[in-house]
Structure 1
Amino acid sequence: MKPPPASVPFAGPFALATLSAPDGPAFPALVTSDERVIDLRVALEAPGSTVRDLLDRWGDVLPRLRAVAAGRDGERRPPTGFRVHAPVEPRQVLQSGANYRRHVIDLHMAHRDPSDDRPDDVRRAEAAEIMDRRAAEDLPYVFIGLPSAITGPYDDVVLPAWAEQPDWELELAAVIGRPAHRVSVEDALSYVAGYTIANDLTDRAAVFRRDMPQIGTDWLRSKNAPGFTPLGPWIVPAESVADPDDLRVTLKLNGEVMQDESTKDMIFGVARVVSYASQVARLLPGDLVLTGSPAGNGMHWGRLLRGGDVMDGSITGLGAQRTRCVTEAP
């Protein structure tokens, strides 16, 4: 496997991964805290299974994973030589936008209408008022992504030739562990099997339709190019994450810190986002609920992604990912 930029441990005794040996098929793996890989097709006597298959039976599988991690039986291999894929292939991807207070203010400032000549402090106050109103009404902003945009945590990201302003958005992603429909905020986290890292790349120039501005946002074009959602490396079980609303989200571009914020800055916490998404959609095991990205995107810095850039993303207790940007060949 391509290693992360440095040894970044995950929380708890084990995590789930999808790995493959050279020229071999992808398989579900348990990665232990002492950096050993266990093939779960063998350990669980489940040939042909995937991580999503395990999540489909999460209530029964989790105790067995604890036993596998604690035991010494079976083959435990070092992680070298494996390719790390996205840890799960979800059926559905639900994405939360404008969910960090400082981030919303930055985007509000960056997307200034050319005709808007109001002072910056007035526009910032307007953004704060909008967020306060949203929080009071308990209406997270959730939209749908495509599973085909997902790629591995160390894979190259191809920037499409048409993407004029490709940007990064590192996010905490909740992985659903049992069907969830119309669940309460109080119960929502019990439907989460674990957490992983997602980088929800966005072409800012494509967010709003130029030909039909009144139609609103175009998330298909702006967020769903192949490889625009690097995911992983691991799924860390929820029982190993003490508080998903208090994790540090950090993204570096070519070694320079661009995003560095706690999930405490979320307007709607993980439970509220999962509950809200479930009020309409029936969430299924393996589905991803992305919880939004903190301040520090490229639009804020005036520096968008280009070929050769390297993004290092990490979240407390969930490991780290590294992706290199390449320009689409003509």
Structure 2
Amino acid sequence: MPEPSPAHAGPFALGTFSGGAAAFPGLVAGARVRDLSGLVASVRALVEDWDTWLPRLHELAATTDGSWHNLADLRVLTPIEPGQILQSGANYRKHVVDLVAAEKESVHGATPEEARADAEQMMDERSRNGVPYIFLGSPRALCGPYDDIVLPALGEQHDWELELALVIGRSGKDIAAEEAMSYVAAYTISNDLTTRDRLYRPDLKAIGTDWFTAKNADTFLPTGPFLVPADFVGDPGDLRITLRHNGVVRQDESTKDMIFDIPRLIAYASTTTTLRPGDLLLTGSPAGNGAHWGVFLRPGDVIDAEITGLGHQRNTVRSHA
């Protein structure tokens, strides 16, 4: 099991681990993990009482009391069992401009310069007056940050989409954007995999996309390694997202490129659903997915992914057979 690199930001992070027996919630401090199972049942339970637990976690991280393990000796699991998984689509400017411009060239015959100028104007208008695009994902798609990605039997164009994810720490409905950041407990990394050639339903063209089938196969949402408390992350609107496919950099972008920032995403989502502690909100993926490069995942491929201060994922791809 590779040790996460680079290390998490701040004095500690949280995760779920296994040392050969039952899984346990753990407090991560560098290369060590304190077993919290004698104090709390799960990371989810901890987040559900976040305001009480956060100061206590600071105290626990500063002591040598309790049962500590070497991180390298543990299996790192998905850090939290979420309630809802809310996923933001088409939320990075360069990514969406590339898609729109390509369509304008191929379908409408625009020159590259005209197509890009029109696409950029559309995104400016969307940022000013539009709303985010959010859909639900299945918790059953989650897997750990070092688990194998298992390609489903159906489909060929299996793609990566690295995303900054946040964990909600307070309940709220109709949350004002000005107050939204106070609802964020922590951040983590999620790779929202998609089978592109199963995204559209040819038998139901009027309905269009099939998000369930394209995005929710088992292991199609590697998440973790840790939850890093929001106080340690700095400005979430200025983090670097980097994904390498077989050693080749494919995604390398700042979260500055988001069309709708985190407060607007939270505010919009909460107009429809009550957000509760433990809910996971993915904030969208930047340019550079496999469809852009004309390269899709195959058995034996290795994906390395990291976001500033949140650690590192490494997943090997294998066939379902």
Aligned to 1:325: 317
2:164 partner SS: strand
Between the aligned residues of both structures, percent identity stands at 53
Aligned to 1:12: 10
Q: Contact 2:298–2:317 at 8 Å: present in 1 too?
A: yes
Q: Distance in 2 between matches of 1:79 and 1:140?
A: 38
| Displacement of 1:209 | 1.8
Q: Contact 1:198–1:231 at 8 Å: present in 2 too?
A: yes
2:190 partner SS: strand
Is 1:55 aligned to 2:53, yes or no? no
Aligned to 2:114: 122
Q: Contact 1:110–1:299 at 8 Å: present in 2 too?
A: no
Q: Distance in 1 between matches of 2:120 and 2:189?
A: 27
| Displacement of 1:236 | 0.1
| Displacement of 1:213 | 2.3
| Displacement of 1:107 | 3.0
1:213 partner SS: coil
2:189 partner SS: strand
Aligned to 1:148: 140
Superposed CA deviations along residues 215-253 of structure 1, whole A, max 9, x for unmatched, are: 132111111111110000000000101100000000000
Structure 1 segment 7-156 matched on structure 2, within 5 A = 7-22=5-20, 24-33=21-30, 35-42=31-38, 45-46=39-40, 49-108=41-100, 115-156=107-148
Root mean square deviation, CA, Å: 1.6
Superposed CA deviations along residues 165-219 of structure 1, whole A, max 9, x for unmatched, are: 1110000001011112111111111111000000000111122222222213211
- The one-letter code sitting in structure 2 at the alignment partner of 1:181 is K
| Displacement of 1:7 | 3.0
2:219 partner SS: coil
1:89 partner SS: coil
Aligned to 1:162: 154
- Number of corresponding residues: 321
| Displacement of 1:76 | 2.1
Q: Contact 2:240–2:255 at 8 Å: present in 1 too?
A: yes
Q: Distance in 2 between matches of 1:262 and 1:245?
A: 8
Q: Distance in 2 between matches of 1:212 and 1:120?
A: 32
Q: Distance in 2 between matches of 1:107 and 1:84?
A: 36
TM-score if structure 2 supplies the norm length?
Answer: 0.95
Superposed CA deviations along residues 291-320 of structure 1, whole A, max 9, x for unmatched, are: 000111111111111111100000000000
Aligned to 2:233: 241
Q: Distance in 2 between matches of 1:7 and 1:115?
A: 44
- The one-letter code sitting in structure 2 at the alignment partner of 1:31 is V
| Displacement of 1:262 | 0.3
- The one-letter code sitting in structure 2 at the alignment partner of 1:134 is R
Q: Distance in 2 between matches of 1:254 and 1:109?
A: 28
Q: Distance in 2 between matches of 1:131 and 1:78?
A: 47
Aligned to 2:163: 171
| Displacement of 1:143 | 0.9
Q: Distance in 2 between matches of 1:323 and 1:85?
A: 13
Is 1:232 aligned to 2:230, yes or no? no
Q: For structure 2, which runs of at least 5 residues remain unmatched after alignment?
A: none
The match for 1:190 among 182, 188, 191 is 182
| Displacement of 1:111 | 6.1
Q: Distance in 2 between matches of 1:258 and 1:272?
A: 27
Q: Contact 2:105–2:115 at 8 Å: present in 1 too?
A: no
2:147 partner SS: coil
Structure 1 segment 280-291 matched on structure 2, within 5 A = 280-291=272-283
| Displacement of 1:91 | 1.3
| Displacement of 1:115 | 5.0
Q: Distance in 2 between matches of 1:124 and 1:160?
A: 35
Q: Contact 1:107–1:299 at 8 Å: present in 2 too?
A: no
**Distance change >3 Å, CA 169–CA 211, structure 1 → 2:** same
**Distance change >3 Å, CA 85–CA 295, structure 1 → 2:** same
The match for 1:272 among 264, 268, 271 is 264
